[in-house]
Amino acid sequence: MAYLFTSESVSEGHPDKVADQISDALLDNFLAFDAQSKVACETLVTTGQVVLAGEVKSKTYLDVQHIAREVINTIGYTKGEYQFSGDSCGVVSLIHEQSQDINQGVDRESREEQGAGDQGMMFGYATKETANYMPLALDISHKILQELAALRREDNEIKYLRPDAKSQVTIEYSDDNTPQRIDTIVVSTQHDPFDADDDVMLAKIKKDIIEILMPRVIAKLPAYVQELFNDKINYHINPTGKFVIGGPHGDTGLTGRKIIVDTYGGKGAHGGGAFSGKDPSKVDRSAAYASRHIAKNLVAAGIADEVLVQVSYAIGVVEPTSIFIDTYGTAKVDMNDGEIADRVAKIFDMRPFAIEERLKLRNPIYQESAAYGHMGKEPRMVTKVFDSPYSGRVEKEVELFTWEKLDYVDKVKEAFNI
């Protein structure tokens, strides 16, 4: 029997995502001036206020207020009527030094013997249903909001958009787990006040989303995905009515509250640990990236059509306590999932330092991951510039989204004799 599956995304102006982006901007600045910084930064945003907290061990000192304000302005919170703007909000820093009790379990005389920064389990997932090996409902949800943000910045066809927004996509699947059609699309977008009454305003927003935004989104999708769109899609556009009060003024935002949006939209699994604001010694982040790297390369190599990878750690211990593989019965090799996991453990070194080195995680590469998902984006080289009143200017060429590279496909094929 056919079934429905749903994923959601949130925009860069969603209060939780504002918090994530500030936390990762702080992390990037610490790593730019001291690559060995240990960072766990949390951010809270609310009406007119930003609170920074967490633990840091670093040789550098930052103007954290300036960094936070810069992020907020870049997102688009630049007007007083938003009740939250980069130029006028208060910024309070409660960041303090990392606990030595934690640090002693992580640092070693030999960096290769670096222990895990915490216990826990992390998951990576990949599927053949999209070109970027991501679940389709989440991929479309992200693209809707990325295009909505592009429209907002263009200020051409839709002039009333504000930064806060959410999307949701429901897809109908057949018994063999093949996408059949788009069933429902939900978009809620913050907007300026209208002179017209509520009914006229809502009709205008719905018309613009369906007739301006969605054709732009669909045009950027591959042909096989475009075919899933039809004139029977159920659209719910700002279903609660007007949405003028939004962003941190409408809801308090916190780092790490959108972990499903950040990963696979409810497909696969999640170990519970957030990413943003954490340096790569925290395996919540680095091992989740490494697990995605494994899953994606396994699917691309033809080991299975769908793969879930779980890895687990004990704090301060170098080797992972387990590696688990689930191919959901889609394996193309003559091995069970346990045998595949044993082979994977020989191909991919999952010690924390090895992950950092393999994926180049001690670089300032994280702010770009803090909105529209950490997974599924295109790896690319960029030059980033960091200015500090205390440490001068640093210009770095870095590679973003290294965990998305298909650089182990040949090694996987060789190891599995395919």
Report the chain's C-alpha Rg in angstroms.
22
Q: E strands, 139-290, where?
A: 161-173, 179-191, 234-237, 253-254
Distance CA 287, CA 248 (A): 31
126 annotated among ligand-binding-site residues:
no
User: 143: annotated binding-site residue?
Assistant: no
Annotation-wise, does 165 bind a ligand? yes
Is residue 84 marked as binding? Answer: no
Query: Does the annotation flag 278 for ligand binding?
Result: yes
Q: How crowded is the C-beta side of 215, counted as CA atoms within 13 Å?
A: 5
Residue 381, strand partner residues: 399
Is 42 within any annotated ligand binding site? yes
The answer for residues whose C-beta is within 8 angstroms of residue 159's C-beta and 6 or more apart is 192
Please tell me whether 270 is known to bind a ligand. no
397 appears as a binding residue in the annotation: no
- Is 98 one of the annotated binding-site residues? yes
Q: Is 289 helix (H, G, I), strand (E, B) or coil?
A: helix
- Smallest CA-to-CA distance from 54 within 89, 87, 88, 19 is with 19
Tell me if 129 is assigned to a ligand binding site.
no
Flag whether 386 is marked binding. no
Q: What is the DSSP letter of 80?
A: G
Q: Is 159 annotated as a binding residue?
A: no
Sheet holding 3-10, edge to edge: 3-10, 161-173, 179-191, 234-237
Known binding site for L-methionine: residues?
55, 98, 251, 282
Known binding site for K(+): residues?
42
Known binding site for ATP: residues?
14, 164-166, 242-243, 251, 257-258, 274, 278
Known binding site: residues?
14, 16, 42, 55, 98, 164-166, 242-243, 251, 257-258, 274, 278, 282
Known binding site for Mg(2+): residues?
16
